[in-house]
């Protein structure tokens, strides 16, 4: 078994040419996380969900853990992701800060691969969306209240492979900067036999009364916490200090 963890970002890892001079952040330096010795010996597996921001110089800032399968995975995940470097995201040809939702997967390379204690997100890209639910900007870009009528999340929920197909009730809850919750998705989701993950697309309208700032999007699977991420919302994102808002959380 390798000591390195399987590390997958929730971030878009390539430029998005469909948005004129608006482009996603591009990863240029990547570092894997080291699998903690005790968890590796016990063949314990799972994920860590981190949130932060990619600044205008392409560095990860204000990184903090949001959820983890085991506490011992958190420090190596943070250490690895802190070393990542990006080509900054661009809007109208200028570098901008964007929200960073990052998932770190730790998996052993044995017949027990994918045996995790409970369902947890592995990927959670969140996008501003148009009225049809289609992406209106790359991943992590702030939602512009009054301009972007919806948000779109393309969640990947990691599950333990089982021999028979089953269903999980998945719920997504958006929480405002002042703690007001909004249930934006709740539905049974089919999990095929032997599947190690299931894709869940969430499209929800942005309320006219939604607060400006950093929002949390958390998921539950059959009533149990399954991790989450963040999205940013402002009437004019260029004038809102998301960095300061992140540091207050």
For 73-94, the pLDDT digits (tens) are 999 999 999 999 999 999 999 9
Q: What is the pLDDT of residue 120?
A: 98
CATH number for the domain spanning 156: value is 2.60.40.3880
13 in any annotated domain: yes
Where is 81: in which H helix or E strand? helix 74-82
Per the structure, the count of domains in the chain is 1
Is residue 79 one of the residues assigned to a domain? yes
Name the residue with tokens 């800032």. Answer: 61
Query: Mean pLDDT, to the nearest integer, of 217-227?
Result: 98
Q: Is residue 225 part of a domain?
A: yes
How much is the mean pLDDT over the chain? 92
pLDDT at 14 over 50: no
Average pLDDT (38-49) is 96
Parent domain of 213 = 6-248
Residue 71 placed within a domain: yes
Within-domain flag for 106:
yes
Q: For 101-152, what is each residue's pLDDT tens digit?
A: 999 999 998 888 889 999 999 999 999 999 999 999 999 999 999 999 999 9
Q: Is residue 1 part of a domain?
A: no
């Amino acid at each position: 078994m390798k000591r390195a963890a399987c590390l997958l970002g929730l971030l878009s890892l390539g430029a998005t040419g469909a948005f004129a001079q608006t482009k996603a952040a591009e990863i240029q330096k990547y570092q894997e996380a080291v699998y903690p010795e005790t968890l590796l010996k016990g063949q314990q597996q799972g994920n860590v969900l981190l949130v932060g921001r990619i600044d205008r110089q392409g560095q990860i800032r204000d990184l903090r853990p949001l959820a983890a399968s085991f506490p011992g995975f958190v420090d190596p995940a943070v250490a690895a992701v802190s070393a990542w470097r990006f080509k900054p995201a661009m809007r109208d040809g200028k570098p901008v800060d964007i929200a960073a939702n990052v998932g770190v997967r730790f998996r052993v390379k044995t017949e027990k691969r994918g045996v995790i204690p409970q369902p947890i997100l592995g990927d959670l890209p969140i996008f501003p969306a148009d009225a049809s639910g289609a992406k209106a900007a790359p991943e992590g870009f702030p939602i512009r209240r009054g301009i972007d009528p919806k948000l779109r999340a393309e969640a990947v929920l990691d599950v333990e492979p089982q021999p028979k197909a089953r269903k999980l009730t998945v719920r997504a809850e958006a929480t405002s900067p002042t703690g007001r919750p909004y249930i934006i998705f709740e539905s049974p989701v089919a999990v095929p036999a032997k599947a190690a993950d299931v894709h869940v697309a969430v499209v929800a309208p942005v309320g006219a009364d939604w607060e400006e700032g950093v929002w949390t999007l958390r998921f539950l699977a059959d009533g149990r916490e399954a991790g989450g991420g963040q999205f940013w919302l402002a009437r004019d994102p260029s004038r809102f200090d998301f960095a300061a808002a992140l540091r207050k959380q």
